[in-house]
Structure formats: C-alpha cells, structure tokens
Chains A and B, each alone.
Chain A
Amino acid sequence: MFKQKTTEQIKAATRPTDTAAHAFYNNPKYRALIYQILLVTGLLYFFYTIISNTLGNLEAAGIKSGFGFLSNAAGYDVLMSLIPFESTNSYMRVFIVGFLNTILVSALGIFFATILGFIFGVMYFSKNWLIKKLSVIYVETFRNIPLLLQILFWYSAVLASLPGVRDSLSLGEAVFLSIRGLVIPKLIGQGGGSTFVYIVLVLAIIGIFILRSWAKKRQDATGQQFPVFYTSIAMILGLPFVAALLTGFPFVIEYPVLKGFGFNGGITVIPELMALTLSLSIYTGAFIAEAVRAGIQAVPHGQTEAARSIGMKEKKIMSLIVVPQAMRVIVPLLNSEYQSLVKNSTLAAAIAYPDLFNVFVGTALNQTGQAIETIFMAIIVYFAVNMLISFIMNRFNGNVELVGR
C-alpha cells in the first residue's frame, strides 16, 4: 500500500503540466469516483431489475411470498433431532432441528478429519516405506474422487452390508452395531448429586486452561516442563469420578434392549450420520493431510538438524520443533478446508441424513413451494457458520504466526 501510494505521488509530481492532463477526467481521483458511481449505479439497476422481475413473476404465478409459512405446522417427521420434535411443530422448528444436525455433523467431521489429516500428513515423513506409501495412496485416492460418490459408496455399499437389527454385532450386550446404526448405553443422572458431578466436570475443564497457562509461564521463566497433557487427562477423568464417588454414584446406566422392531433405550447413532461423518472426514482428511505435508515441508531442514544436534529425540523434534512451525502454513489451509467441509455437509441430501439442507431446503421447499425464502435462509446460515469458523481460525492463526522482530 505504502509503496503504491508513493509511486502515485511521484507520478503526480512528475506529470507534464499541459492542459489535457489537467482535465478533470484525467485526474485519478475523479476517475476513481466516476468508475465507482458507474459501478454502483449498474449494480443497483441490476438488483432493481431482479427484484422487480421476481415480484412480478411471483404475482403472475399466484405464489404467496413471505416468511409467514414458518409458523405453519410442518406435518412431516424428521429422522433425528437434538431437540424434541414432532410433526405438529412449525417449519421454524424444522429449521432449527436441521441447523443443529448440520452443526453436529460438521463438528464431528472437522474433529475426525483433523485427526486423520494430521496422522496421514505426518505418516508421509515416516521412515517405513509402506507407511509413507499408504499416506500417499490415501491422499491421492480420496482427494480425486467426487465426495458425492464416496458418500453413496460408504452408505449404500459399506454400511448397508452390516447385519440386520436382530443379528447385531454386540460388545458385551451393551454396545450394538447393526444396519440401524450404533447403539450405546446412556448415562442418566439422578437428583442433585449428578448436577454436582457436572459442575465438577466444568470446573475441571476450566482448571485445565489455568494449568496450561501456568505451565507455560513456568516454562518460559524457568525452563522446567510440566506434563500438562497427562495431568489434564487425569483431571478431566479423575475429578468427576471422585465427585461421583463422594455423592454415591448418582447415575443409572440405561442399556439398549432389543424390543419389537429395534432397540429401546440407549443412544442411537444413525447410520446416515456415521456414513456422512465417515466420508466427510476421510475426504477432508485427505486435503488436510496434504496441507500438513506441505506445512512440514515448508519448515527449513536446518531446524530439524539443529534440534538433532542438541540431542532431541525424533518424536520430540516432530512435536516441539517441526509441527509448531508448520502450523503457520497449515492453519490458513485448515481454515478453508473446514469451511468446505461445512459446505459439503449439504450432500446429506444424497443419503437420508436430516441436515438443514435436506429437511428445510429439500422437504420444506417442496411442501410449501417457497423457493426463495428457504434457500435464502439456508444460505445465510451457511454463510454465518463459515464466517464464524473463519473468525476462530484467524484468531488461532494469530497465535501461531511468527512474531516479527
């Protein structure tokens, strides 16, 4: 910016002073103004035409527009909802149910894709030829096949071959896996004791953050390291457990029981969610692995050599020297991969996972015919979610960025 301005200034200073150059249309300032006025007028005219056309078309076709339909009863059921839902609820509630389902699958997808991506990205640098090739094969296979095909493949070729609900694969009569999905026992808290345990859990999480910043400060000051990771795990598991013991274990475990057509009780993870999470994380994981590889390769080799020369172990070099520096390259790439994962979750429409697109832009649009309203609402949501991801990742990026001296 600064440099460009100076060249502009130089140009202005050295411009010959004949009359044509003084004409207002040759003055860059006025020119820019005129260009912009033209641009804005053109855009305004464009939008005016579109809106007036749309209104005219809607009126001619006799379509009622507006968001009034949102309070009408939906009249159809949704396979899975994180909040109570039945078919007499409004379209607005369908919208919220779909939104929460989208958030759920996106969050799961981001979580697993990141793990897969980092594992396979680091695997590329393994000394084991087989592991290295496996990483290459993984990345090149899943990156180059359309995601939609992968979703259909996982759902209708792999998960569909699981046994029926009566012949479920079971683990100790508590966890069942069948074509109906994964059923796991549910922990039901009872009375005030369980609330106490939840509070302790939250306190443990807060405690971990405090511990981390303390450990970092101490390390900066004294160079001593503190086993933050293991302490954190001990805190998050141990403290609630102690609290549960103190209150006399105020929980009941609800085991799933095969009854009638399916399992009663427990928590059911529907196969659509499994298939979508699986394919989204594998697909995005391939891109993240590529990003991780690029990031690690961007770290100068001298860093590794320097670390070796002071006698660090290979594993420590990777986790303390290479990966933190690689993060500078990886994080911006992760940002765009996460965003595209959220956008790709709309492909739930291809299988029966009830995400926002499927239940709202799909079914609600079809039942009400309100194309503009439903698509508009969905677009706003995806846009907002992506902005949020971008905001968080940029904050994170600020943390890993090289601090200039």
Chain B
Amino acid sequence: MSNTFKSDPIEFKPTAALPAPKSTVGPIAWVRENLFPSISNTLITLFIVFILISLIPGVIDWMFISANWSGTNQEACVSDGACWVFVKAWSQQFFYGSYPTDQLWRVNLSLILLFAVIILSFTLPASFRLRVSIPLFLVLPFVCIAILDGRLVGLDFVNTDLWGGFSLNVLMAAAAIIVAFPFSFLWALGRRSNMPLARSISVIFIEFFRGVPVLALFFMGSVMLPLFFAEGTQVDKLVRVWIVLIFFMSGYMAEVFRGGFQAIPSGQYEAADSVGLSYWQKTLLIILPQVIKVSMPNILATFVMLFKNTVFLLIIGIPEVLQLLLTALSNSNWLGGHAVEGYVFVGVIFWVCCFSMSLLSNKIERDLDTDKRD
C-alpha cells in the first residue's frame, strides 16, 4: 500500500472547474429570478398575468379606443365606450363650480399663490426659510379669501354660494390645515404641559376631534353650529365648515406635533434652558423648527387625509367636486348613466394629487433620514 504511494507519486490534478453559473444578469435571468423562482411562485405569476390579460384590453377599449371625445351634448355619445363628452361639458363646473366665468382668474390666482408659497417654503435658503414661509403660509388663506370674495380688495363681490368644484376642495383643505397649524401647536404644547388643567383640556379636545367621525362634525357645522351663534347672527355655511375643518385638523395635527416633540432629544431643551431662554423663546426658536422638520412627512400625510375628506362635504350639500358630479348626473339633459365616467375622472384627479403628495412625503422622509445616518 505504502509502496505504491511512494513508487507512484500522484501528480497534482486539479478537478475540472464547475461550469459557469447560469447567467445572473440580463433579462432572462431577471425574469427567472423575479417571476419564476419556484413552482408556487410560477403558478402565482401565471395567475396574475392571466387576470391582467383578461381585464386590461376591455378597460383600455372602454376608456380610449371606443370612447367618445368630441361634442357638446349627450347626443354626441354614440359609441359603446366612455362618454368623455360629459366630463368635458361639465369640466368648468367640476373645477370652478359656478364661479363667474370672467372672474375665474381669481380662482387661478389663488391656486397659483398657494403653489408659489409651497414651492418657496422648500426652495428658500435655509437661513431664513421658516421665518419667511411661516408668516406667508399664515397670511395666505386670508389673502385667498379676500381675492375670491372681492369686497376687501375692490373687486366684484362673488358670493360663497358660487364657489365650488375641485378648486374649492384644494383651497378648503389648504386653508383649514394652515389655520389649524398654530392651534394644533398650542394643543400639543398643552398636552405636554405641566399644568394639570391645561393638559386635561387639551387631551379632551384632541381626543374629541380625533374620536368623532368627520361626517358628524360636518353635520354639526351645517345643522348645529347655526344654533350656537347669538340670535340674528349668521355665519356663512362655508365659513362654518371651515371652522369645523380647522378644529378637526388641529386635533389630528396636535398628535403629529406631539410625536414631533417626542422625537426632539431632551438635550435640546436642556441646552436652551442652560443658555437662559424663556419658555416661549425655547419653544418657538429652538424646538418648533426641529419639530416641523421631523413632522413634515406626517403633516403631509395628515393633509392628504384632510384633502380626501373634503369630498365628504357633499353629504351636507357643499358644491365640491363630487357634489357637482352628482348634480350633473341628475341634470335632465344628461340623464343616462355617465356615473362611471364621472367617478373615474374624479378618482384619477384625486389619485394624481394624493399620490404626488405621498411621493413628496417619501422624499422628505428620505432626506431626513440621511441626517441621522452616519
């Protein structure tokens, strides 16, 4: 045995290299890796693909290929597909409500101002960003109301009954959240306060407005609030709803801010105390800017919720976009079931707005994240 070893020393023969692994790059590999990694996954993939194939062509055909695009009245809708003529004919109503046609620039101006302020608040140099954009935001709702109403700035008076449409949804949501901002900040401070009464009042307030369905609040605004004011005092319905929305929002935002406060390291409070800042100096100059920064994604999420909730205003007859859609559906010249077109149209508008806001919120969240990452 040992002899053989010695007499016949084995030559070093490397074993043949394994064949190159199946390609791990390129489209085929990607498909194999991501769509058919196992038998069960393959079945699921095939099932999903089958569902998509059976659904999508019909939808596309209805929405685009055999849809009716041109015309001004119901008679123009002849083919089987969607009747976009309906949406087109009512588009001004859907966007602006009954606001006078020659005054529409005022609505557009308000929307442009809103977007301008939003963009400014993201693009201004950081050194004075908050100091400029916060006052701008707080003044904005009142400027917009003055422009839309017209009496204060010497334009034609346009009654609030004529305001409406999707622009109302946007402006209403924006005006509510902006005015709710300082209130919710106070409520959040109250909830963190050492004063027992202030704390319990804040807790009751916040929990009340978070615990009650927004529909009930709207009903309060439309049928209960008028009874709360002194006899002979009338408050415009839109203003009442606005008040309700502000309260509702400040309840939610207070909780967002509370989360923000909790995220601020206690060292910040202690540092502010140690340099002798007063309570308000500490809160407004040191804590608030940081709270706003860390709460930004949640503020946006809350805004999206509020924005979607403005649709509920239809239950109390405010001419927001869905209410106008229902009005259009019951018009005797347009009777004939354009409901799906209408719902799709309104749904797509909301989806685009809300989705872009959630993308923005994700981006802010990522930007914030990098600060903490080492």
Known: A4-B269, A153-B343, A357-B213. A375 touches B224 (CB 8 A): yes
Cα-based distance from A54 to B30 in the complex (angstroms) = 69
Contact indicator A57/B227 (Cβ below 8 Å):
yes
**Residues of chain A from 350 to 370 with CB closer than 8 A to chain B in the complex:** 350, 357, 361, 365
Contact indicator A378/B311 (Cβ below 8 Å):
no
A-B contact count (CB 8 A): 156
Cα-based distance from A371 to B219 in the complex (angstroms) = 9
CB distance from B51 to the nearest CB of A (A): 10
Per-residue A-contact encoding for B3-18, CB less than 8 Å = 1, 0 else: 0000000000000000
Per-residue B-contact encoding for A46-76, CB less than 8 Å = 1, 0 else: 0001100110111010000000000000000
| Among A134, A149, A342, residue most surrounded by chain B Cβ atoms (within 10 Å) | A149
**Residues of chain A from 135 to 160 with CB closer than 8 A to chain B in the complex:** 140-141, 143-150, 152-153, 156-157
**Complex contacts, B229 vs chain A, CB 8 Å:** 53, 57
A43 at the interface (CB under 8 A from B): yes
**Complex contacts, B183 vs chain A, CB 8 Å:** none
A386 at the interface (CB under 8 A from B): yes
Contact indicator A379/B227 (Cβ below 8 Å):
no
B266 at the interface (CB under 8 A from A): yes
Q: Which of B71-79, B109-117, B348-356 contacts A (4 or more CB under 8 A)?
A: B348-356
B312 at the interface (CB under 8 A from A): yes
Chain A minimum-CB-distance residue to B343: A153
A239 at the interface (CB under 8 A from B): no
Cα-based distance from A343 to B230 in the complex (angstroms) = 31
Chain B minimum-CB-distance residue to A11: B273
**Complex contacts, B339 vs chain A, CB 8 Å:** 152, 156-157
**Complex contacts, B266 vs chain A, CB 8 Å:** 3-4
CB distance from B33 to the nearest CB of A (A): 8
A344 at the interface (CB under 8 A from B): yes
B118 at the interface (CB under 8 A from A): no
**Residues of chain A from 115 to 173 with CB closer than 8 A to chain B in the complex:** 126-131, 134, 140-141, 143-150, 152-153, 156-157
Contact indicator A350/B219 (Cβ below 8 Å):
no
Known: A128-B45, A350-B315. A378 touches B37 (CB 8 A): no
**Residues of chain B from 278 to 318 with CB closer than 8 A to chain A in the complex:** 304, 308-309, 311-312, 314-315
Cα-based distance from A188 to B201 in the complex (angstroms) = 53
B263 at the interface (CB under 8 A from A): no
Cα-based distance from A145 to B347 in the complex (angstroms) = 6
Taking beta carbons and an 8 Å cutoff, which residues of B are in contact with A?
Answer: 30, 33-35, 37, 41, 44-45, 48-49, 194-198, 201, 208, 210-216, 219-220, 223-224, 226-231, 266, 269-270, 273, 304, 308-309, 311-312, 314-315, 322, 339-340, 343, 346-347, 350-351, 354-355, 358
Taking beta carbons and an 8 Å cutoff, which residues of A are in contact with B?
Answer: 3-4, 7, 11, 32, 35-36, 39-40, 43, 49-50, 53-54, 56-58, 60, 126-131, 134, 140-141, 143-150, 152-153, 156-157, 339, 342-344, 346-347, 349-350, 357, 361, 365, 371-372, 375, 378-379, 382-383, 386-387
Further 17 A-B residue pairs, CB within 8 A, beyond A57-B226, A143-B354, A357-B213: A128-B34, A128-B45, A131-B48, A145-B354, A148-B322, A149-B322, A149-B346, A149-B350, A153-B347, A157-B340, A157-B343, A343-B211, A343-B214, A344-B213, A346-B216, A347-B312, A361-B216
20 contacts between A and B (CB under 8 A): A3-B270, A7-B270, A35-B195, A43-B201, A53-B231, A57-B226, A145-B347, A145-B350, A146-B308, A148-B314, A150-B347, A153-B343, A157-B340, A339-B210, A343-B212, A346-B216, A375-B223, A375-B224, A382-B211, A383-B211
